[in-house]
Structure 1
Amino acid sequence: MQSDKVLNLPAGYFGIVLGTIGMGFAWRYASQVWQVSHWLGDGLVILAMIIWGLLTGAFITRLIRFPHSVLAEVRHPVLSSFVSLFPATTMLVAIGFVPWFRPLAVCLFSFGVVVQLAYAAWQTAGLWRGSHPEEATTPGLYLPTVANNFISAMACGALDYTDAGLVFLGAGVFSWLSLEPVILQRLRSSGELPTTLRTSLGIQLAPALVACSAWLSVNGGEGDTLAKMLFGYGLLQLLFMLRLMPWYLSQPFNASFWSFSFGVSALATTGLHLGSGSDNGFFHTLAVPLFIFTNFIIAILLIRTFALLMQGKLLVRTERAVLMKAEDKE
């Protein structure tokens, strides 16, 4: 019976917030450099906040009613990394509130940064005990220590906590540099990723571009040499993603495709920042085509996700007995 099924959304669904709010930030910046209304950017930010609020409510409800199902996700070698999307999106929502209500932004940031640091210390340090299976080494491992620290740096930049932002940026950069060789070695030499995990490759697009965005947030928006180098590596990753499209498109569309969205939206924002620094040249030429391309990708993701929602295929429901069994096994 339908009444025996309950909503059971994995933490990975917070990825929808990443791309939506990231593109909102891109449009906010576009309204500063072009003659476009700020309402489109603000509208996307508000939409992302609503989605974040609904997902947070669903996650907390599951945590209260079926705590062991959340604990099983936290202990899973792959899914555990995606749990860190909750504090990550909380801090992005905080950035969204900065122009409107700074006290709330500070509260959300403070909560998000404490949760992300606590979870990263527990989850990532736990991997150092030597029991993490090699086949579970996917780009998802970037999320707890790389993505969260870069987003923390972005939030610090938005709140004018520059020194703290540099600390988080350093934590993110060196976490990224230590993880990338391990992840790429696994992708190259340890067997093909299962079909259901292939979309996690979308996360590989994000580190360089989000690092660039974080650096621009704490350096006053100056498109310096480091920003351009990070952007260049991000463009290279984009070419790799395009090359592999037939491989990960072999599965039907689902919410996991949003793993590409944060890197894509960061591409839009950083491209605009670098392109607006001059009236001509390489970055100025790239800015508009990349902005159009990234909007096209996010629009497709939003439309396909809405279609899944209307078809009843987006919101995952699980038998109550299954979630209760997870508790019985503890």
Structure 2
Amino acid sequence: MRAVRRTCAAASVTMPPFLGRRGRLKVCFMSVQNRKFPIPLSYFSAPLGMFALGLAWRYGAAAGLLPAWAGEGLLAVAFAAWLFLTAAYVYKIAAFRADFLADVRDLVQCCFISAIPITAMLAGLSALPYAPVTARVLICAGAAGQVAFSMYRAAGLWRGLHTVAATTPVVYLPTVATNFVSTSAFAALGLHDFALLFFGAGVFSWLSLEAAVLGRLRTEAAVAAQVRGIVGIQLAPAFVGCGAYLAVNGGRFDVFAMMLLGYGCLQFLFLLRLLPWLGEGGFTMSLWGFSFGLAAMAGCGLHLLAAGRLPALGLAMAAAGSGFVLLLMAGTLRLMWQGRFLVRG
């Protein structure tokens, strides 16, 4: 209740004196409930990308390709951002219930709920060398959470509740990204059979969605300029899937791994050609939709370098993926400096 009073004071909510103390607090609470929360759910894409790149750099350090401080430092930044956003979203559920329910009901925004268990698992992987028990709890909780949410959301849409317009690359998050990250996480815990189960779930979910997503992008109205960055999620499945596959096959670049790399590189070239169109709305936080795929591309490039396979391609992938994510971080700091990070509403 004290938090509500402080929020009301900050919002300058004007209430008539005849309502009394309880009445004023009730009106104030209703006003807070109807306001727009200034941190959208899609902002979880930022720690998602930073975690993925930090873990890629950690692998690079283990392979003798990068200094250890780079990956660990980035993981620390990602962990801090994740804690902040998680706390903010818990507050949103409590104090901005209408906004939270709107997220759940929205066919596009609801998919970003999957970023919460995904980042929890990535946080667990980041913490694994330092706090193994906590890491296991985060990974298992994240895996259970992602399965529960996909049962609710993805299976729920089988009743004819989805639309063609909402079939953007963001639909990969609840069943593809979640299961590929679960694969890598359980492989890191040594639970190889469980990792393979998640990998199969991710691969066939990806195959079932790919044609529908690309068909929508080709034939329906263009995604709005301000949120066009979500198209960048199209980069993720191949590279994140390749990283997951390397986690369960011992890091070998066999035929299937190279096929995944080839398709991922093709998607990168397609998106590179579309950069002017994707950037028509200027720099917005939606561009973090690229980050998971870019970070995974960097990780696959470092794996190529460590394996001595196609070193020129590996170096290009590692440099491009890392460089673009660092540009996203710089752009976000600029938004903060300009006071445009929070959504006004």
Query: Is structure 2 residue 339 aligned with structure 1 residue 312?
Result: yes
Aligned position for 2:326: 299
Query: Is structure 2 residue 221 aligned with structure 1 residue 191?
Result: yes
Equivalent residue letter for 1:292: A
Q: Are the counterparts in 1 of residues 49 and 295 from structure 2 also a CA contact under 8 Å?
A: yes
Q: Are the counterparts in 1 of residues 228 and 286 from structure 2 also a CA contact under 8 Å?
A: no
Number of aligned residue pairs: give it: 315
Aligned position for 2:317: 290
Aligned counterpart in structure 2 of residue 8 of structure 1, from 33, 38, 45: 38
Aligned position for 1:322: none
Larger radius of gyration: 2
1:150 and 1:32 map into 2 onto residues whose CA distance is 22
Higher relative contact order by CA 8 Å / sep ≥ 6: 1 or 2?
A: 1
Equivalent residue letter for 2:59: Y
Equivalent residue letter for 1:275: L
Gap runs ≥5 in structure 2? 1-7, 12-34
Aligned counterpart in structure 2 of residue 159 of structure 1, from 165, 179, 189: 189
Q: Residues 107 and 38 of structure 1: is their aligned pair in 2 closer, same or farther, counting only changes over 3 Å?
A: same
Q: Are the counterparts in 2 of residues 31 and 37 from structure 1 also a CA contact under 8 Å?
A: yes
2:192 and 2:265 map into 1 onto residues whose CA distance is 27
Secondary structure of the corresponding residue to residue 313 of structure 1? coil
Once the two structures are superposed, what CA deviation does each residue of 1:23-71 show, in whole Å capped at 9, x if it has no partner? Answer: 1112111112235321110000111000000000000001111223111
Secondary structure of the corresponding residue to residue 165 of structure 2? helix
Q: Residues 248 and 2 of structure 1: is their aligned pair in 2 closer, same or farther, counting only changes over 3 Å?
A: farther
Q: CA deviation at 1:2?
A: 8.8
Q: CA deviation at 1:196?
A: 3.0
Query: Is structure 2 residue 82 aligned with structure 1 residue 73?
Result: no
Q: Are the counterparts in 2 of residues 11 and 82 from structure 1 also a CA contact under 8 Å?
A: yes
Aligned position for 1:231: 261
The alignment-based identity, stated in percent, is 42
Superposition RMSD in Å? 1.6
Aligned position for 1:324: none
Once the two structures are superposed, what CA deviation does each residue of 1:211-256 show, in whole Å capped at 9, x if it has no partner? Answer: 0000111122222221111111100000010011111110021111
Equivalent residue letter for 1:287: G
Equivalent residue letter for 1:52: W
Secondary structure of the corresponding residue to residue 304 of structure 1? helix
Secondary structure of the corresponding residue to residue 167 of structure 1? helix
Aligned position for 1:46: 76
1:6 and 1:164 map into 2 onto residues whose CA distance is 40
Q: CA deviation at 1:190?
A: 2.0
Secondary structure of the corresponding residue to residue 136 of structure 1? coil
Secondary structure of the corresponding residue to residue 276 of structure 1? helix
Equivalent residue letter for 1:305: T
Equivalent residue letter for 2:338: Q
Q: CA deviation at 1:10?
A: 1.6
Secondary structure of the corresponding residue to residue 135 of structure 1? coil
